[in-house]
Amino acid sequence: MKTVAIMSKPSQPELERVAPEVVDWLKHHGYEVLIDQETGSYLPGHPPVPRDELAARKPEFVLVLGGDGTLLAAARALAEAKIPVLGVNLGTLGFLTEVSLSELYPTLEAVAEDRCAVEVRGMLHCHLMRKGERVAHFDALNDAVIHKSAMARILEVEIRVDDRFVANYRADGLIVATPTGSTAYSLAAGGPVVSPEVGAFIITPISPHMLTHRPVVVKDTRVVTVLVIGTAEEAFLTVDGQVGIPVFEGDHITCRKSVREVRLLRHADRTFFDVLRMKLKWGER
Quick: pLDDT tens for 211-236. Answer: 889 999 999 999 999 999 976 567 89
Amino acid 90: pLDDT: 86
- List, for residues 90-113, the tens digit of each pLDDT value: 866 778 888 988 999 999 999 999
Report DSSP letters for 198-240, one per residue.
S-EEEEEEES-SSTT---EEEETTS-EEEEEEE--S-EEEEET
Tens of pLDDT, residues 121-176 = 999 999 999 999 999 999 999 999 999 876 667 889 999 999 999 999 999 999 99
pLDDT category at 45 given cuts 50, 70, 90 is: confident
Would residue 274 show up in a list of annotated catalytic residues for this protein?
no
Domains identified in the chain and CATH numbers: 2-114 (3.40.50.10330), 124-259 (2.60.200.30)
pLDDT value, residue 152: 60
Give pLDDT, residue 129: 96
Q: What is the pLDDT of residue 226?
A: 97
Instruction: Give the model's pLDDT for residue 96.
Output: 85
Gap between the Cα atoms of 74 and 242, Å rounded: 12
Q: Which of 24, 36, 52, 68 is catalytic?
A: 68
Q: Taking CA 97 as the corner, what is the angle to CA 277 and CA 194, rounded to the nearest 5 degrees?
A: 50
Judged against a pLDDT cut of 80, whether residue 180 lies above it is answered with yes
Provide the pLDDT for residue 151: 62
Share of the chain above pLDDT 70, in %: 96
Kindly tell me if the per-residue pLDDT of 17 is higher than 80.
yes
CB 134 within 8 A of CB 174: no
pTM of the full structure? 0.92
Task: Please give the backbone phi and psi of residue 254, each rounded to the nearest 5 degrees, phi first.
Answer: -105, 130
